[in-house]
Structure 1
Amino acid sequence: MSSNKGRILLVDDDASLLRLLSIRLQGEGHNVICAESAEQALKLLRKDTPDLIISDLRMPGADGLALFDDVVREFPGLPVIIMTAHGTIADAVDATQRGVHGFITKPVDHEALRSSIERALAVSHVARDDNWRRDIISRSPVVEQLLEQAYRVAQRDVSVLVTGASGTGKELLARAIHRASPRRDHPFIAINCGAIPENLLESELFGHAKGAFTGAVAEHAGLFRQADKGTLFLDEIGDMPLHLQVKLLRALQERQIRPVGSSKTYDIDVRIISATHRDIKQAMQEGQFREDLYYRLNVVNLHLPALNERAEDIPLIARYLLKQSAERHNVDVSRFADDAMQLLSTAPWPGNVRQLVNVVEQCVALTHTPVVGVHLVEQALSESAGIFPTLTEARDAFERQYLVKVLKMAEGNVTRAAELAGRNRTDMHKLLKKHDLNASDMRLEESE
């Protein structure tokens, strides 16, 4: 017998089928309750939430998908299996795209139903444990809706692209999706594609054979193989060089990789979650990102809101961070003064949650009292106005400053600037376009 026995709500307007299925499922150790309509099912749900709903699709009044929509709104994370004698491919596609956990045709194949029930109950038991989303502190409707979507997506082995400004918590969301997924008992491996030199990124991702290049003194498996059966998180995917985009696309299409310097290929079983703060569609228009790779990665897009778009979460996050920081540093500080919290709640937060973390850390480090006062928050906010950038942001800023300087040295001559920078003319034009620089502006500036 399965170890995932649970409480199941059966919904069908056919009383004889209800009775038959109920007897079978109770015989397998499940606790079964029955409803003959979607309306009756909702009344029962509001009294006592089960672990799983199995509902007929076609019923008088509200049908199974209408019931599912109500369940999503009122009981997020509760899995639903749809049964129908009128099943079509279109029904199944519509149901699964909307997040229905399973789709069973009548007459019911009991083995297929048993398998669907076991998978759904495993999901339900994870959903009832909020541990999967433990790192995301929120009560705002926009984030709660996002987390509902993330949970449903986690159950389907599709690629996810997480977008949002720097500091919004894209890796935290990726880790939450992994913890909520069937892959949760396998590795979660993260890599920042913008923080690793181009010549090393290929080896890090795909591995290399011994002797493949100078310094390759031993075989390196690479992150794809290390993440086997788990999740590979590709942060700042928008910064991946074009030639590696081609190799990544091929790996995802063929589900195989070939390490650098090796003739051997390896099968891969990895779920890809990628993230970027860049405008990928603009990068595609500029020829900096492959359109076919974008559609392969962006099966589902989850967008994280900026902190100022979820202002109701700021006090919640600030108190959480204060408690964590005080415990970590063994400091006796318990809360923010009311005016200090008001200031935190109304600040613009251009650096999002990452900036809030820095502000709270500084307040904890400098406070001499159990209550953090408004002047300390003002000081920390002022000093974080030029918030410490990420490596990608710092690299982009340096690159732009360098290009401006080299163009001025070359008096706006792109060919000469490319020679000074050790790049070819085509690369130089791409870099100028990336940073919205015009060589003619430099000539004008020099002539004035």
Structure 2
Amino acid sequence: MITPEHSAELKETILIVDDDPSLLRLLGIRLSAAGYDVLPAKNAKEALGLLKSSQPQLVISDLKMDGMDGMALFEKIRQQQPNLPVIIMTAHGTIPDAINATKQGVFSFLTKPFQSQELLDTVEQAIRLQPQNEIGQQQADETLWREKIISRSAVMSTLLQQAKQVAKSDFSLLIQSESGTGKELLAKAIHLASNRHKKPFIAINCAAIPEQLLESELFGHRKGAFTGAEKNHVGLFEAANGGTLFLDEIGDMPMNFQVKLLRALQEKEVRPLGSTVAVKVDVRIIAATHQNLQKAIINKSFREDLYYRLNVVELELPPLSDRREDIPLLAQHFLSKCKDKSAHLINGFSKEAMELLISAPWPGNIRQLENVIEQSVALSSEPLISEALIRNALRDKTSQLPSFQEARDHFERDYLAKLLDITAGNVSQAARIAQRNRTEFYKLLNKHHLQAESFREEKKEDDQT
């Protein structure tokens, strides 16, 4: 959350437009005291000029002004910078005016006179929720290697610094992360930052290839090597020669094939199926998995020697829930990708919708976020995507976290069932363990539709077997 102290450090710039000099000066004093840089403009024409020469993160404009009014200025701003948030002020405000303005994409509508804290809270929300307000976006990104990774969070900044540092080496990398976090994007960025960037980057999902085809896909085969092999096939190791081979979901690779992969990495050569001649290859390996490979080693489902061959450097890609600052950026990116498919003009998200996006649990990470945005765009009939659309799209996800009440009820039922199981349905004994009287304990059992008798019968059946 951006606080005034944080704002003072980041120095976000706010363009204020009002033809009342005293109000313009007062707003400037209030916002400057809160730590913002202020650009004053006495009319819309002057504001458009300042917009071209500066990069404000927010525009606050009066509605009624001589010449071009606030809504006309908003339309001009939307044409030039469609993602720049605009707050409209008016002493003539009515509910229909506010509804009309927000439907057209205005971030918020303040009716004068308003309290200083109301102004600062609205400004904070606009800067916090809008993706284009990233300070780093004011400066041209000096590198292109990570341009497809959309982020402004500190945790991702640290990760990308590490990624760029190790990109110049030829060490094998292991990317550890949950599903849907963008492992392939990170791997591609590392390739682009490496000395191999002019050579191929080839990705394969090890979990998506049947075991019997994996060797052919990676090492290739010769004509006649097996039924259906009607011509020579170049494997992905050869195809990526000189470049980078990304092995996604390496933890799902069959044990039988792991030893073959290890040999190829050690010898730096592959032998296509049906060939007696090995082919030298020069590839950098970047592997990725959502599994805990150390546990897989203990469980004998992953080779320890292959793990250490792949895991020279490990990078941990954080889940979306650990980089919530990136959600507005990502949401706007996905909206831009798919809004042209909508039959209606869509400008952005309502404040409530964006707040919900930021606070949602996101067990499916970025992939789930993209799906939610696509579904909301498909069903939206207004210029702004509403909270209701986002909530409905989130509710469709079976992996969504339960509510507090649902989680508590689930725990309570499991706890009671465990007590009855331990005591073989003896309610008095179970109540004593739970430190509840019998009457209260029976109420709890009735609440969760648990019958003590059924646990006694289960115990008898167990004793008889």
Q: TM-score, normalised by structure 1?
A: 0.57
Q: 1:331 to 1:159 in 2, by over 3 A?
A: farther
1:417-428 equivalences in 2 (<5 Å): none
Listed one character per residue, the Cα deviations across residues 351-373 of structure 1 (whole Å, up to 9, x for unaligned) are 01110000001111111111001
Offset at residue 310 of structure 1 (A): 0.9
For 1:199, what is the secondary structure of its paired residue? helix
Residue in 2 aligned with 1:242? 255
Task: Give 2:297's aligned amino acid.
Answer: M
Offset at residue 192 of structure 1 (A): 0.5
Task: Give 2:310's aligned amino acid.
Answer: L
Q: Is the 8 A contact 2:168 2:195 kept in 1?
A: yes
Offset at residue 385 of structure 1 (A): 3.4
For 1:168, what is the secondary structure of its paired residue? coil
1:206 aligns with 2:213: no
Residue in 2 aligned with 1:226? 239
Task: Give 1:131's aligned amino acid.
Answer: L
Q: 1:228 to 1:303 in 2, by over 3 A?
A: same
1:332 aligns with 2:363: no
Residue in 2 aligned with 1:162? 175
Task: Give 2:315's aligned amino acid.
Answer: L
Residue in 2 aligned with 1:272? 285
For 1:243, what is the secondary structure of its paired residue? helix
Residue in 1 aligned with 2:103? none
Task: Give 1:155's aligned amino acid.
Answer: K
Q: Is the 8 A contact 1:331 1:364 kept in 2?
A: no
Task: Give 1:357's aligned amino acid.
Answer: E
Q: Is the 8 A contact 1:192 1:234 kept in 2?
A: yes
For 1:321, what is the secondary structure of its paired residue? helix
Offset at residue 386 of structure 1 (A): 4.2
1:186 aligns with 2:199: yes
Q: Is the 8 A contact 2:344 2:381 kept in 1?
A: no
- Identical aligned residues as a percent: 56
Residue in 2 aligned with 1:252? 265
For 2:234, what is the secondary structure of its paired residue? coil
Task: Give 1:147's aligned amino acid.
Answer: L
CA distance in 1, matches of 2:343, 2:245: 35
Structure 1: runs of 5+ lacking an equivalent: 1-126, 388-443
1:175 aligns with 2:213: no
Task: Give 1:367's aligned amino acid.
Answer: S
Listed one character per residue, the Cα deviations across residues 301-354 of structure 1 (whole Å, up to 9, x for unaligned) are 000111111111111111121112214557521110000000000000010111
Offset at residue 201 of structure 1 (A): 0.6
Of 350-359 and 311-320, more deviation after overlay is shown by: 311-320
CA distance in 1, matches of 2:160, 2:345: 34
1:23-422 equivalences in 2 (<5 Å): 129-327=142-340, 332-386=345-399
Listed one character per residue, the Cα deviations across residues 407-435 of structure 1 (whole Å, up to 9, x for unaligned) are xxxxxxxxxxxxxxxxxxxxxxxxxxxxx
Q: Is the 8 A contact 2:153 2:325 kept in 1?
A: yes
Structure 2: runs of 5+ lacking an equivalent: 1-139, 401-460
Task: Give 1:180's aligned amino acid.
Answer: A
Residue in 2 aligned with 1:102? none
Task: Give 1:194's aligned amino acid.
Answer: A
Task: Give 1:245's aligned amino acid.
Answer: Q
Residue in 2 aligned with 1:9? none
Task: Give 2:208's aligned amino acid.
Answer: A
Offset at residue 241 of structure 1 (A): 1.1
Q: RMSD of the TM alignment (CA)?
A: 1.9
Q: 1:329 to 1:155 in 2, by over 3 A?
A: farther
CA distance in 1, matches of 2:390, 2:227: 51
Q: Is the 8 A contact 1:323 1:334 kept in 2?
A: no
Q: TM-score, normalised by structure 2?
A: 0.55
Q: Is the 8 A contact 1:307 1:349 kept in 2?
A: yes
Answer with 1 or 2: which has the greater Rg.
Answer: 2
CA distance in 1, matches of 2:185, 2:371: 17
Q: Is the 8 A contact 1:164 1:277 kept in 2?
A: yes
CA distance in 1, matches of 2:331, 2:141: 26
Q: 1:230 to 1:329 in 2, by over 3 A?
A: farther
Aligned residues: 265
Q: Is the 8 A contact 2:222 2:233 kept in 1?
A: yes
